Amino acid sequence: MPVAIITGASKGLGRALAEALAGRGWDLVLDARGAQALADTAEVVSAHGTRVSALLGDVTDAAHRAELVSAARRLGGVDLLVHNASALGAEPLVRLEELSLEGLRRALDVNLVAGLGLVQEALPLLRASREGTVVAVSSDAAAEAYETWGGYGASKAALDHLVAVLAVEEPGLRVWAVDPGDMATDLYAAAVPDDREPRPEPASVVPGFLRLLDGRPASGRYGAPALLGEAR
């Protein structure tokens, strides 16, 4: 069975992706910082008969990243790495004049540095896979200038560029930055707690990610809503 590592997998998009891949027979290595939510997700995806390694930890910890890759190696390798774990830098979001530098460093550490660290750790196994794939979960804030989203958006823009370079350096892999679009997630609620407008559930954009895996288009940046539109 193919093996995927998904960071930030206990809730939201990470959990929705885990459930979808488990339904397709993937074995999974899941990561999160919340013990109970991670255990709940592992129980749900295990019901599909998939093998699951659920590891509690922070992706900014190099030892934890090594544990994730070691767990995948025990399952047979790494065919797909999804860097979904994200940090806002401030909760709720604030204008740049108020953004603490420590918050910005946290956003960069989680969204960017940890992503590269995990890729570096997993790269030998990704290269060994017949369909080695890296998915970096991006944001429209990486490409658009929204008030208060500056720190988070900057970290995601840097992530977009990093994976674009990775795609050039690793032509044998598929490397995609994917903007999932608006979603009803805990992250968004923490970012803008006063925004009560209804938003799509994370599971609604998962078919866009699966479309990428099925079609294996060229490495690049994609938007899940656009992929869903193409599928209709």
Q: What is the DSSP letter of 107?
A: H
Name the pLDDT band for 230 (thresholds 50, 70, 90): low
Active site residues: 138, 152, 156
Cβ atoms of residues 51 and 71 within 8 Å: no
Residue 232 C-beta-side C-alpha neighbours within 13 Å:
5
What is the model's pLDDT at position 147? 97
pLDDT in tens, 65-84: 999 999 999 999 999 999 99
Tell me the average pLDDT across 117-129: 98
Under CATH, which number does the domain 3-229 receive? 3.40.50.720
pLDDT in tens, 35-75: 999 999 999 999 999 999 999 999 999 999 999 999 999 99
Domain ranges of the chain: 3-229
Residue 95 exposed, middle or buried by CB count within 10 Å (0-12, 13-18, 19+): exposed
